[in-house]
Amino acid sequence: MLQIKSISKQYRVGDFTQKALDGVSLNLRDNEFVAILGPSGSGKTTLLNIIGGLDRYDDGDLVINGISTKQYKDRDWDSYRNHTIGFVFQSYNLIPHQTILSNVELALTISGVSKSQRRHRARRALKQVGLGEHINKKPNQLSGGQMQRVAIARALVNNPDIVLADEPTGALDSDTSVQIMNLLKEVAKDRLVVMVTHNPELAQQYATRIVELRDGSIRSDSDPFEVTGQQSGEPVHRTMGKAAMGFTTALSLSLNNLGTKKARTFLTSFAGSIGIIGIALIMSVSNGVNTYIDDIQRETMTSYPITIEEQSIDLSSLMSQSATAGGGEEGADHANDGIYPDDSSIQRASTLTTSISENNLTAFKEYLDDPDSEIHQYVGGNGIQYSYDVKFSAYTHDPDGTLVNTDGVTVGESASNDSMAAQMATSTPYSSSTSSMSMLTGETDENAAPSSFSEIMPGADEETLISQVVTDNYEVVDGAWPTGADEVVLVLNERNEIPLTTLYELGLLPASDYQTMMDQLNADEEVETTTDKLDYATALDQTITLIPACDQYVKDDSGHWRYIGDDADEITQLVDSGTGTSLRIVGVVKPVEDAQTTLLSPGIGYTRALTDDLIDHTDSSAIVTEQQADPDHSVLNGLEFSPADDAAKAQDARTYVASLDVSDKASMARSIMGSSMDSAQLAAMSEQQIADSFDQYLATAGDDVLVTIYDRYISTGTYDDNLAAFGVVSRDAPSAINIYTDSFEAKDGISQAIENYNASADENDKITYTDYVGLLMSSVTTIVNVISYVLIAFVSVSLVVSSIMIGIITYISVLERTKEIGILRAMGASKHNVSQVFNAETGIIGLCSGLLGVGLTVLLNFPINSILHYFMETDEVNAALSPVAGVVLVVLSVVLTLIGGIIPSRKAAKQDPATALRTE
């Protein structure tokens, strides 16, 4: 039972107020066919909309089954329209882009009925109105009468208590009108039907009650219904149920709608995708470039580790100090009144010496060996490599059978005779940093390994003899990689070359030719060099005899050890007797064509196994054990390392000279007295005479003379000096530490870790090193990233533009679909449902834009890569959109279009359903 209690409704348009309903009171029975008659503009539609909950009354009350609708919330109204009311409109109001079946299903869809149920009930309703055959047609494929029957089927499908029909026959011819009226009469058998019409005959013929409306007031009522207290009964609160529409429904509505405007949807998506394409392209390219840089970094870092040496020059402090010390501006400060000293060169020299620092690598190695040290997280795949200054000499025979020392000097000769030019020619271009360091510090290392020998970088773990970086970047052109201590490889450069001098040093070319060549150089003559190639087999045939430093000392009759490394005969004897280790060249290697790093310098490469063997051999050698047994006296001359006072020194000097044989004594005398005596006079004397006169001189000499002689010619050095000369190497005290990383970031991390180490270390244990690569290149990645961000910021503008565009298009769509909104609301869709429909639409467009953009980017990357390869002259820069970035961009596109659509879809939701339905 429906009670309309003096309801008023006014429309305000500007200043003008239109009274649509003016205190209408009407009670409707649960089962009757009411026809509302009245001229146009009399308020019939307004009354019907108020009864159907599409419009709100200003005054009065609408009581449904005893419950005042004043208490109704939006939800209740939605539910009321969905479950209790069925609407039939003059203009049918079918959704044009949906099939008839879908149109009828709509009310059920909104109430959340399952799909099969929906199908079944919609078919039944369509059959009921005689349209069983046409279910898959679109509304525009039907006649007006058929459309109105669809509308009636739609109104009935929810089996509502009330059917409201607003001029259902208004647009139909009289025959069809009769059919529709019959149908409605049928419908009215078991429910309340309220029909607005201005056709009195039809009303008379079919309706059970006629209410006449004029200017918003009831003029007559053919069958008034007086509700008495008893009749009204107890108010019954019917559960309204929930009008609910799933998101899928919203989606399918929008999909269908977009399907009718494919071209526009495509163009919109395409326009929206341009911003996405822009960003995706920038991301692809910067991704490609960054990957390339990462690769380069990894490769660079394998060849440029952070190197910490025993002695290091603090280059940065050197540069900063020399910039300030004795600068030109400072000099200008002096007044023009006298002579001022310019100490800048002294200052520079001082800076140079003070910037050389000793690193305590033993303490640092302890830190590195601690697995908890923070530095380990930054260490790359090649790990930390320790270098040890093992000391040995290596000898080999040239094709003529002459014994050659691989340090570049034929056995028994001294290099010092060579002219500057010859020395320059022979000094290897790959001089290690240690040798340049010794040039700076003035220290020489006579037993040091020959410069043409270098250790092949071992793998990061103990088992791997040769690091993968080496095997990846070098190919074996003949033979194989070494597998043990006694096997070495000959390393060529990428052009299969090896320095000529190294070939002589390794005995692969005759030493006599080298001598001729040197003679020509010294005589400033034109030098003829050989450029003939050598077979790999020649190199593989070569054997090298390695003699560790400790084995270059022999114990003589006096019980002291004597150095024989500079004695040609004794060395020849040593080599021939097979004392040393025989090294076999087992392979010839060269860098691969696109080698990223050339870790090995041309010459001989030996393995870590040899280094280990040398360390162990030296530790157990007789001279070392003897020296270690008596740390106070030098095994070389039996003298004390550090005499307590001058008397002891003088005594030591006497003992020492006494122990010398005649020729040694004579040569010592020559060097001491050479300055004071006439050289011609000296030359005339025999060795015996010189020695004798020297003895005489010493016999009368005072202690001070002897102390001077001791200090200048005898001084035994220290215990450590001796051990170092014998080649003793402690595994705890590497000569250099190389820390490999995989990226600049990791390298920065290492630098930071070393800084932290220094902060907590003792003053003497602080580590200094120069980070050359870091100085040069760390900013490259940052620059690429900054450029990418700036470009993305620019392109983002186009995303904003496309979002606005999509907002506008959604707005147009809202305008276009106003009627549909009205229909949906009339069916019981809530505001939320309506906005969902439009959100679904913008979501679909956003998704299309995103997918289109990402898809096009993937396609565009092909030509872009060709262009990049052409201009960058490398195939290694590959623009590629990462899958994550792709997904993120699609999501971004959806989110942005959703944001763009928010305002229009809100507007759609707020749309007054009654007004929406009135729009044409």
Chain positions contacting ligand ADP, by CB under 6 A: 11, 13, 18, 20, 38, 40-46, 915
The answer for residues whose C-beta is within 8 angstroms of residue 893's C-beta and 6 or more apart is 272, 273, 276, 846, 847, 849, 850, 853
User: In this chain, which stretch among 45-53, 420-428, 714-722, 760-768 interacts with Mg ion, using CB under 5 A?
Assistant: 45-53
Residue closer to ligand ADP by CB (options 42, 842) is: 42
Look at residue 116 and give the partner it binds from Mg ion, ligand ADP, none, a contact being a CB closer than 5 to 8 Å depending on partner kind: none
User: In this chain, which stretch among 39-47, 77-85, 498-506, 687-695 interacts with Mg ion, using CB under 5 A?
Assistant: 39-47
Look at residue 25 and give the partner it binds from Mg ion, ligand ADP, none, a contact being a CB closer than 5 to 8 Å depending on partner kind: none
* Dist CA 86 CA 93 (whole Å): 13
Is the separation of the CB atoms in 618 and 730 below 8 Å? Answer: no
Least Å from the CB of residue 917 to Mg ion: 10
Is the separation of the CB atoms in 98 and 249 below 8 Å? Answer: no
Helix residue ranges, H only, 37-143: 44-51, 74-83, 100-110, 115-128
Least Å from the CB of residue 203 to ligand ADP: 14
Least Å from the CB of residue 845 to ligand ADP: 31
The crossing angle, in degrees rounded to 10, of helices 687-700 and 646-659 is 160
Q: Is 467 helix (H, G, I), strand (E, B) or coil?
A: coil
Please state, as a whole number, how many other Cβ atoms lie within 10 Å of the Cβ of residue 605: 26
Look at residue 590 and give the partner it binds from Mg ion, ligand ADP, none, a contact being a CB closer than 5 to 8 Å depending on partner kind: none
Tokens of 523: 């005589």
> Which residues on adjacent β-strands are paired with residue 221?
211
Task: Report how far apart, in Å, the C-alpha atoms of 819 and of each of 19, 454, 497, 586, 605 are.
Answer: 25, 87, 86, 90, 86
Least Å from the CB of residue 46 to ligand ADP: 3
Please work out the total of residues on this chain that contact Mg ion, with binding judged by CB under 5 A.
1
The crossing angle, in degrees rounded to 10, of helices 831-872 and 818-826 is 140
The answer for residues whose C-beta is within 8 angstroms of residue 668's C-beta and 6 or more apart is 657, 660, 694, 713
* Dist CA 792 CA 282 (whole Å): 7
Look at residue 41 and give the partner it binds from ligand ADP, Mg ion, none, a contact being a CB closer than 5 to 8 Å depending on partner kind: ligand ADP
Least Å from the CB of residue 45 to ligand ADP: 3
Least Å from the CB of residue 171 to Mg ion: 12
> Which residues on adjacent β-strands are paired with residue 554?
562
Residue closer to ligand ADP by CB (options 589, 814) is: 814
Residue closer to Mg ion by CB (options 19, 348) is: 19
| Angle at the Cα of 596 from the Cα atoms of 594 and 597, rounded to 5 degrees | 125
Look at residue 915 and give the partner it binds from Mg ion, ligand ADP, none, a contact being a CB closer than 5 to 8 Å depending on partner kind: ligand ADP
Residue closer to ligand ADP by CB (options 40, 230) is: 40
Look at residue 305 and give the partner it binds from Mg ion, ligand ADP, none, a contact being a CB closer than 5 to 8 Å depending on partner kind: none
Residue closer to Mg ion by CB (options 90, 268) is: 90
169 binds Mg ion (CB under 5 A): no
Residue closer to ligand ADP by CB (options 17, 760) is: 17
Look at residue 11 and give the partner it binds from Mg ion, ligand ADP, none, a contact being a CB closer than 5 to 8 Å depending on partner kind: ligand ADP
The answer for residues whose C-beta is within 8 angstroms of residue 532's C-beta and 6 or more apart is none
Which run of H or E residues covers position 612? Answer: helix 608-619
Residue type, 181: M
Residue closer to ligand ADP by CB (options 21, 384) is: 21
Residue closer to Mg ion by CB (options 45, 501) is: 45
Least Å from the CB of residue 42 to ligand ADP: 4
User: In this chain, which stretch among 41-49, 51-59, 420-428, 536-544 interacts with Mg ion, using CB under 5 A?
Assistant: 41-49
Residue closer to Mg ion by CB (options 45, 770) is: 45
Residue closer to ligand ADP by CB (options 438, 915) is: 915
Tokens of 284: 């692809």
Q: Site residues for Mg ion, window 586-615 (CB under 5 A)? A: none
**CB-nearest residue to Mg ion:** 45
Residue closer to Mg ion by CB (options 197, 861) is: 197
Least Å from the CB of residue 48 to Mg ion: 8
Residue type, 613: D
Least Å from the CB of residue 818 to Mg ion: 18
**CA 893 and chain centroid, separation:** 23
Least Å from the CB of residue 44 to Mg ion: 5
Which run of H or E residues covers position 63? Answer: strand 59-64
Least Å from the CB of residue 196 to Mg ion: 6
Residue closer to Mg ion by CB (options 43, 272) is: 43
* Dist CA 618 CA 728 (whole Å): 6
* Torsion angles phi and psi, residue 606, rounded to 5: -115, 165
Look at residue 13 and give the partner it binds from ligand ADP, Mg ion, none, a contact being a CB closer than 5 to 8 Å depending on partner kind: ligand ADP
**CA 223 and chain centroid, separation:** 83
Is the separation of the CB atoms in 503 and 534 below 8 Å? Answer: yes
Residue closer to Mg ion by CB (options 49, 109) is: 49
Tokens of 141: 């494929």
Look at residue 177 and give the partner it binds from Mg ion, ligand ADP, none, a contact being a CB closer than 5 to 8 Å depending on partner kind: none
Quick one: which of 21, 26, 28, 45 contacts Mg ion (CB under 5 A)?
45
* Torsion angles phi and psi, residue 657, rounded to 5: -60, -40
Least Å from the CB of residue 33 to ligand ADP: 19
Look at residue 20 and give the partner it binds from Mg ion, ligand ADP, none, a contact being a CB closer than 5 to 8 Å depending on partner kind: ligand ADP
* Dist CA 544 CA 489 (whole Å): 11
Is the separation of the CB atoms in 693 and 669 below 8 Å? Answer: yes
Look at residue 38 and give the partner it binds from Mg ion, ligand ADP, none, a contact being a CB closer than 5 to 8 Å depending on partner kind: ligand ADP
The answer for residues whose C-beta is within 8 angstroms of residue 460's C-beta and 6 or more apart is 381, 382, 383, 467
Look at residue 269 and give the partner it binds from Mg ion, ligand ADP, none, a contact being a CB closer than 5 to 8 Å depending on partner kind: none
The crossing angle, in degrees rounded to 10, of helices 100-110 and 818-826 is 50
Q: Site residues for Mg ion, window 78-117 (CB under 5 A)? A: none
Look at residue 286 and give the partner it binds from Mg ion, ligand ADP, none, a contact being a CB closer than 5 to 8 Å depending on partner kind: none
Least Å from the CB of residue 199 to ligand ADP: 13
Residue closer to ligand ADP by CB (options 51, 403) is: 51
Tokens of 552: 């270059």
Least Å from the CB of residue 10 to Mg ion: 17
Residue closer to ligand ADP by CB (options 13, 339) is: 13
Is the separation of the CB atoms in 163 and 155 below 8 Å? Answer: yes
Residue closer to ligand ADP by CB (options 148, 618) is: 148
> Which residues on adjacent β-strands are paired with residue 313?
356
- CA nearest neighbour of 21 among 199, 212, 214: 214
Q: Site residues for Mg ion, window 645-684 (CB under 5 A)? A: none
DSSP state of 714: I
Look at residue 42 and give the partner it binds from Mg ion, ligand ADP, none, a contact being a CB closer than 5 to 8 Å depending on partner kind: ligand ADP
Least Å from the CB of residue 13 to ligand ADP: 5
Residue closer to ligand ADP by CB (options 215, 497) is: 215
The answer for residues whose C-beta is within 8 angstroms of residue 891's C-beta and 6 or more apart is 850
User: In this chain, which stretch among 43-51, 207-215, 296-304, 391-399 interacts with Mg ion, using CB under 5 A?
Assistant: 43-51
Is the separation of the CB atoms in 836 and 90 below 8 Å? Answer: no
Please state, as a whole number, how many other Cβ atoms lie within 10 Å of the Cβ of residue 273: 25
Least Å from the CB of residue 796 to ligand ADP: 43
Least Å from the CB of residue 906 to ligand ADP: 20
Is the separation of the CB atoms in 155 and 86 below 8 Å? Answer: yes
Contacts with Mg ion by CB under 5 A lie at 45
